[in-house]
Amino acid sequence: MSLSSASAFAILGTGSLAPDRVVTNDDLAKLVNTSDEWIQTRTGIRERRLAGPGDTTTGLAAGAARAALADAGIDPAAIDLLIVATCTPDLPMPATASLVQTALGLPSTTACFDLNAACTGFVYALDTAWALLASGRYRHALVIGAEKMSSALDWTDRTTCVLFGDGAGAVVLGPAPAGSGIVATKLGAIPGTSELLLIPGGGSSPLAPDAPRHIKMKGKEVFKFAVRAMDEVCRDLLTPRGLAPTDVALVVPHQANLRIIHAIAEYLELPHDRFFANVDRYGNTSAASIPLALDEAGKAGRLRRGDLVLLVAFGAGLTYGGALVRW
């Protein structure tokens, strides 16, 4: 199945970075009342990377970005737009993007800002960067998803602390080689659902000055939303273009739970191996999960020129989003 038109901007390179420290399920079973068996059966996670004393969201983001720039063969001086998707910035201000700009030595003409759509953040940032490139005002964008989720976890709460990890992934967007490019994106958010997944404290709200500064989640409700929303967004990207799920060479979904990934595979009637998964080794790295998975998929030879690749995510908000890309 061919597409009627290819967009003018493509992912030119990818990169990722995760902290060195590997924390296994057995390690966590020493902290909270859990087990390797429970975590693996319910989530597919075996281990995750957690930040050491020297690791910051900025440092992880900059490392992933350097790798993406090298992969794309693009000089940092050519980057005129930098978006960092994160819900765990180093500081309330300035934006992590400004800190990353300094770390990378990007020029003063680079527009730099953060974007928070939680775990859907990378897809939101990709859509935003694509639109800004298409406006003609920018030429090369660096889009990063970076998180230090360990800073937002309650290490006594077994229902959340076993699920997340730290890391970063980045892509460089620029003028597309013939035949490749971003084809379509779709974003959305469901009003009235913020209490299902949130960090209640740490912001400026006068309503909850002493609220906890770590993640609270109603996991079962989020699970059901995730499967329904990601199935819908995949179909909304494919069907109007005369495409079927079987036309997609690889789906790179948000890495939250292997059961969620397998459930979408069943809904779309695709084999499990059509989905890239590395949640077993990283856990849920929120906005970093898709670019980190994309980078690993590329290095594993799973992204071939001309392939149709589908990125799809869900997260706090509740938000959802997808991007269809001709590799």
Smallest separation (angstroms) from ligand UT7 to the CB of 87 = 10
- Choose one: 8-16, 80-88, 89-97, 215-223; the region binding ligand UT7 (CB under 6 A): 215-223
Alpha-carbon distance of 181 to 215, in angstroms, equals 36
Active site residue 284: yes
d(C-alpha 198, C-alpha 221), whole Å? 13
| Binding to ligand UT7 in span 222-241, by CB under 6 A | 222-223, 226
Question: In the range 133-192, which residues lie near ligand UT7 by CB under 6 A?
Answer: 158-159, 162
Task: Note whether 43 binds ligand UT7 by CB under 6 A.
Answer: yes
Query: Which residue's Cβ has the minimum distance to ligand UT7?
Result: 219
Residues in region 284-323 near ligand UT7 by CB under 6 A: 284, 315
Choose, by CB under 6 A, the member of 21, 42, 46, 235 that binds ligand UT7. Answer: 42
Question: What are the distances in angstroms from CA 16 to CA 59, 101, 151?
Answer: 11, 17, 20
Cβ atoms < 10 Å from Cβ of 266:
11
Structure tokens at 17: 């970075």
How many C-beta atoms surround the C-beta of residue 58 within 10 A?
A: 25
Which stretch in 83-91, 141-149, 220-228, 271-279 sits in contact with ligand UT7 by CB under 6 A? 220-228
Residue 257 falls in the annotated catalytic set: no
How far, CA to CA in Å, does 91 sit from each of 84, 94, 99, 160, 260? 13, 7, 10, 23, 32
Rule CB under 6 A: choose which of 72, 250, 256, 309 binds ligand UT7: 256
Instruction: Give the nearer residue to ligand UT7 in terms of CB position, either 180 or 289.
Output: 289
Residue 171: CB minimum distance to ligand UT7, A: 20
Within 52-91, the residues that bind ligand UT7 by CB under 6 A are: none
Q: Which member of 87, 254, 257, 278 is catalytic? A: 254
Instruction: Say how many CA atoms lie within 13 Å of 83 toward its Cβ.
Output: 26
Residue tagged 């720039």 (tokens): 69
Spatial separation of the C-alpha atoms in residues 98 and 247, rounded to whole Å: 39
Cα gap 308→326, rounded to integer Å: 5
Residues from 265 through 284 that contact ligand UT7 (CB under 6 A): 284
**Residue number, 151 or 159, with CB nearest to ligand UT7:** 159
163/215 Cα distance (integer angstroms): 11
**178 C-beta neighbours (distance < 10 Å), count:** 7
Q: Does 116 bind ligand UT7 (CB under 6 A)?
A: no
Whether 234 is a known active-site residue: answer no
Binding flag, residue 220, ligand UT7 (CB under 6 A): yes
Please, are residues 246 and 319 in contact by the beta-carbon 8 Å criterion?
no
Which one, 173 or 256, has the nearer CB to ligand UT7? Answer: 256
Which residues form the interface with ligand UT7 (CB under 6 A)? 34, 38-39, 42-43, 119, 158-159, 162, 217, 219-220, 222-223, 226, 256-257, 284, 315
Catalytic residue ranges: 119, 254, 284
